[in-house]
Chains A and B, each alone.
Chain A
Amino acid sequence: MVQYLKPKFLFIGLVICLQLNLYGQEKFTQEIRFINHMLNRQNFDEALFLLENFHPVTTDQRDTVNYLLGWTLYGQKELRTSAHYLALVSEQSPFLEKSRFFAAYNHAYLRDTDDAVTFLNMFDSSFSDEVFYMKNFQLAGISLLDRRMNDFDALAGSFTGTLSITATEEQRFRDYRQRIVDMPRRSPFLAGLMSAAVPGLGKIYAGKTAEGISGLLYVGAMMAVSLDFYNRFGGKSPLFWISSGISGIFYVGNIWGSVTAVKRVQNEFNYEIDQRILLDMHIPLRKLFP
């Protein structure tokens, strides 16, 4: 009798476990549907609250929660935290490719380019051609951000222009490379020297023509006033000394302004080109992973 009952109880136990598992899966799917609904309605704070208070049981569930957390934080521009959660998505997850690419992008945006390269290098030839091509494209973008032109040239060698999602951006990358190379390397010292000779000339050399002309007028006007006082009251007049002092401050300030103008122009150029590169790295990613 006992022998006859044992398999029966085992079977009933199995059925109960299966039911519970099904129930758990159903609850999880429902919750994820709801969280996705919250995200679609741009209720990011509430979606984050739900995700942070969610206790996944299986690896699949953990992957889904980590992916959604990363994606939500990415939408909120919390890039470092987003990269952290996206990196937690396991290799078995269907979200792996998207998670890794966006984790890499987040790091690139934050200029942690070494971490970005590490994430991208996990894509080997076992992945699809499209993914492998995207890895190459992203690496090329990162080398441009790092101004590693030789590395960029090596990676750009495999640009075919045939993949529609990257074709336009590949051409733009080449243009950016040319612009970076063509960007004149101006000397701050020379700019200062030029402004010492002719006030404002250093700023014109740095590329800030309007500022240069305005500087010339200010310093010139103050010097003219000093000269006027000198001619009228002589070299010992306090008015002459005050106006000369002010002219001196304007003159030295103009020289210093010319030195910093060179750095300012360089920073403005770098910022603009970096933003363009990052945008062109981002567009194909969103096309590949809508």
Chain B
Amino acid sequence: MKLINVSYLICIFLCGSFSLNAGVPVEEDSLLLKAQDLYEQGDYFEAGIAFERAYFFSSETKTRIQANIGRARALKQTGEFLKARNDLQRSLHLRQFPDLHFVIMYELAFCEYMAGNYSNSAGVLGQIKHFYPEKYDQNKILRLDALANVMSENFIDGQERTLELIMKIDLDAETADSLIVRTMQLFCECAQPWERSVKTASRLSTFIPGAGQAYAGYPGKGLLNAGSQLVSLGLAAYMGYNNLFVSGFVIGLGMFQSFYFGGIRQAGYLAEQRNLKEMGAYKELLKDFIIGLDD
């Protein structure tokens, strides 16, 4: 009797011990559900950790991909796009679940865009077009592709995607026509800011003081610089005329060389700044237009 009892207890012990490990797959689903709960409650930081926990402890590929997508979405909410991008890349090679693979690629493209890697974003969207041509034709993807191309200054593709997007949106013929005309106007080469050459600006200021600044779009600064050079040269000449040769050399010519060489550097810098400013404003204009194309 005693022997039987002991045998039973040993069996219970062994069953209990093994059930610790056997219980893990059950926990996998609960981990994912818990993470989703946290996400829905708006606790994105803890949701990100919970999704990662589900990813780490899961042995199922599908669960891992789902957890990875969940984590990326949680990280997106906290503004950690680069981290989300890095995490998403772990599942990029898993193509046995096309629906999930497509979501991974879209999220990756979105995170790349939000992290400022516009060319990478356009590259991933190009892969979506290649692998999932039937799914590529969605408004959100076309919009993201148009934006990525605009931000990476690939205006031809940007225009093409924008036109595709307008065709996809359910609009009456009149509105669609006006949007197409507006797109053509906005993307027209004549609407794009012309790029000022930094070298030309510097060279102009080398030979004609103030001309480089005027070329860069700052004629006032050009006048000020040319005037300063003229005054300092005048001072040097005036001092020399009054037999103050040393003072004329030190004060007059000293000031002149500062204004002269400073003016050359300033012209190049201003040209560069003007290019950035105008291109930034142009891209913002296109971005607002593309985002404003409502579904």
Contact = CB atoms under 8 A, between A and B. Distances in A.
B192 interface: no
Contacts of B9: 11-12, 15
A225 B13 contact: no
Contacts of A22: 16-17, 20
Given A37-B56, A46-B49, A46-B52, A221 B20 contact: no
Q: Among B6, B16, B250, which residue has the most Cβ atoms of chain A within 10 A?
A: B250
B48 interface: yes
B243 interface: yes
Interface in B38-95: 45-46, 48-49, 52-53, 56-57, 83, 86-87
A50 interface: yes
A228 B245 contact: yes
B242 A232 contact: yes
Contacts of B247: 224-225, 228-229, 243
A46 B48 contact: yes
B56 A18 contact: no
B17 A224 contact: no
B53 A34 contact: yes
A189 interface: no
A23 interface: yes
Interface string B247-268: 1001100100000000000000
A49 interface: yes
Main secondary structure, interface of B, reads: helix
A121 interface: no
Contacts of A8: 5
B246 A19 contact: no
Given A15-B9, A19-B17, A46-B49, A228 B56 contact: no
A269 B250 CA distance: 36
A235 to B, nearest CB: 16
A1 to B, nearest CB: 12
A41 B49 CA distance: 12
A37 B83 CA distance: 15
Interface string B94-127: 0000000000000000000000000000000000
Contact of A224 (B83, B243, B246): B246
A265 interface: no
Nearest to B27: A30
Given A34-B57, A225-B251, A229-B244, A49 B45 contact: yes
Contact of B56 (A11, A34, A49, A227): A34
Given A18-B13, A19-B16, A46-B52, A30 B246 contact: no
A236 B254 CA distance: 26
30 contacts: A8-B5, A11-B6, A11-B9, A12-B9, A15-B9, A15-B12, A15-B16, A19-B17, A22-B20, A34-B57, A37-B52, A38-B52, A41-B86, A41-B87, A43-B52, A43-B83, A46-B48, A46-B49, A46-B52, A49-B46, A221-B250, A222-B250, A224-B250, A228-B244, A228-B246, A228-B247, A229-B244, A232-B242, A232-B244, A243-B247
Interface of A: 8, 11-12, 15, 18-19, 22-23, 26, 30, 33-34, 37-38, 41, 43, 46, 49-50, 221-222, 224-225, 227-229, 232, 243
5 smallest CB-CB distances across A and B, nearest first, come from: A228-B246, A228-B247, A19-B16, A221-B250, A225-B247
